[in-house]
Amino acid sequence: MGAVMTKQLQAPEAGTQARPWLALVALLLGVSLIVLEGSIVNVLIPTIVQDLSIDRTSVLWVTSIYSLVFAALLITFGVLSDRIGRKRMFMLGTAIFIAFNLLAGAAQSGDMLILARAGEAVGGAMMLPTSMAIINVNFRGPMRAAAFGLWGAVFGGMAAFGPLLGGWLADVASWRWAFYINVPLGLISLVMVWFVIVESKGEDRRRLDVGGVITSSVGLGLIVFGLIEGQALGWWTLITTWDLGPIALTAGDLSPVPIALAIGALLIAVFLVSQSRRAKAGKSVLMDLSLFRIRRYGYGNVVATLVSLGEFGVLFALPLWLQSVQGFSALQTGALLAILGIGAVLAGGAARHVSAALGSTRVVRLGMVLEIVGIIGVMLTISVDRSAWWMAIPLFVYGIGVGFDSAQLTNVILSDVPPQRSGGASSVTSTLRQVGSTLGSAMLGTVLFVSLGLALSNDLAVNQPQISEEQRTQIVDEVVDTSGEAIIPLEQQPGMSDVANEAKQSYTRAVQIMAAFAGGAMVIGLLASFGLPADRRRDEEEEDQKVPAST
């Protein structure tokens, strides 16, 4: 970076070297809470709505504010962790995360819950890239492959276990315990990090790029807002009322979504140009663009972004389909999806050995292939007339793919990054994956509901000709607007069972179409992965393992 010279790297104190795996446990416990928080809330929404009496707008913000704030702040906190210390940043983030989970559990209104979710995201944005940076600093060579394998297992596993835990808590206790349960676990992580991890930081002591903080955070926030709200508000024309302070818009007005996307894209462009100019002038930067000259890092991030477009599409659509078509409870839905998590955990545990035999890059490709096979399996087994539990087999295969792919791709991306730049580098990777995942969810959600609307309208016209065009339009709109929740009440109405069955069949085909798009994104990511450099020889990895980490 510019004229900045780095000192000879020094090894961390013996405490971390002697207990690296205990340190990893402390980090993974904290990371599991972040992922859990992002996946557990959706299954709790019905009970939250009933308990707090919140409207549709508040529901949208409860579910989306976490992703919005989280994505907007990842880069900023990743760079700050290199400056103030990665251990310090992780602990501060954990403390903030714990405090706002307490507030969320005690929330008595939608506004209080939204505020708490935003605060949780601030803490999570401090913790996630910092955890990756600490692993990159303290683990080298084959041991890093093992560490990132476990990191990926936790990441993929908790994303799948979240709905199960949420459904169980909703059935046996209260939605509030979905937040309270994070408090003791967060405290355990906080204490462990304090005792077993030695502080490390980078060497850049120049003035922080405040302008970069503002443009990147606001720009990313606006882009993520647009992607999240596009389906609900309308991509161009507003399809419902929308209020923001003194601004009050009605259906038919220009949607705020294209405005947010345009301004966000402009701010990100300004941010990137400013980063390039500041680097040439020898000033501090928030995003070190020179890192993208490292082929593993630059190309690996492209692959990660492409993969994230389709990787978790199944987790987006299946809960909706299971509860609307199969009549699954939240607990049953979580139990089926947890099978994916089991596959991810097992694959993460085996990643070290598989990576030693095949190399990390080949393991990434193997994971992608298994994910594609799993998606195809879901497409073939999902049916109105067949038990949904048949999908357990392809979901397990899919989970193994997630366990191999996600973590080892992170290992490949960061393998050649200098340890003193780990915080900023890992935060960019996290941000690209988060934005890619959000974009993928928006695209796949649009495919799902457009396909559902078209299929149901056509099926009703062909197979239920006795229904008037006005009734058909009303039924289609109700099914699509409720994400399928209207199907079961429709089935219970006298004389409407055939109509409800048409809706179930249409929904099933729509999920298959969406899964095909998700699989297509994974195929593109797989093809792109062949541009990654070949794995280094074992002797080179062993030499890399001897390189001491940064303080």
Secondary structure in 3-state letters for 31-97: HHHHHHHHHHCHHHHHHHHHHHCCCHHHHHHHHHHHHHHHHHHHHHHHHHHHHHCHHHHHHHHHHHH
Please state, as a whole number, how many other Cβ atoms lie within 10 Å of the Cβ of residue 481. Answer: 15
* Amino acid (1-letter code) at residue 270: V
Contacts with 357 (C-beta within 8 Å, 6 or more apart), sequence order = none
- Scanning the structure block, which residue is given the tokens 């947010």? 260
Asked if residues 2 and 279 have their Cβ atoms less than 8 Å apart, the reply is yes
First and final C-alpha spacing in the chain? 19
Backbone angles phi, psi at 247, to 5 degrees: -85, 125
Residue with tokens 């904290």: 30
Report the distance separating Cα 71 and Cα 218, nearest Å: 10
What pLDDT sits at residue 18? 45
Which residues on neighbouring strands pair with residue 248, listed in sequence order?
A: 243
**Rounded CA gap, 43 and 296, in Å?**
38
**What are the domain boundaries of the chain?**
15-198+284-453+511-544, 209-283
**pLDDT tens by residue, 27-73:** 999 989 988 887 787 777 777 877 888 766 677 678 778 888 888 88
Task: Please provide the DSSP assignment of 326-386 as one string.
Answer: S---HHHHHHHHHHHHHHHHHHHHHHHHHHHHH-HHHHHHHHHHHHHHHHHHHHHH--SSS
- Report the 10 Å Cβ neighbour count for 293: 8
Place domain 15-198+284-453+511-544 in its CATH homologous superfamily.
MFS general substrate transporter like domains (1.20.1250.20)
Structure tokens given for 474: 């009303």
| pTM of the entire predicted model | 0.80
Q: What is the pLDDT of residue 10?
A: 38
For residue 139, count other CB atoms closer than 10 A to its CB.
22
Q: What is the pLDDT of residue 92?
A: 96
**What pLDDT, on the 0 to 100 scale, is given for residue 546?**
46
Q: What are the residue ranges in the chain where pLDDT is below 70?
A: 1-18, 55-57, 60, 141, 202, 204-206, 536-551
- Of the candidates 404, 413, 418, 498, which has an alpha carbon nearest to the alpha carbon of residue 459? 498
Res 57: pLDDT: 64
Q: Which of 131, 153, 21 is nearest to 74 (CA)?
A: 131
Q: What are phi and psi of 468, to 5 degrees?
A: -70, 160
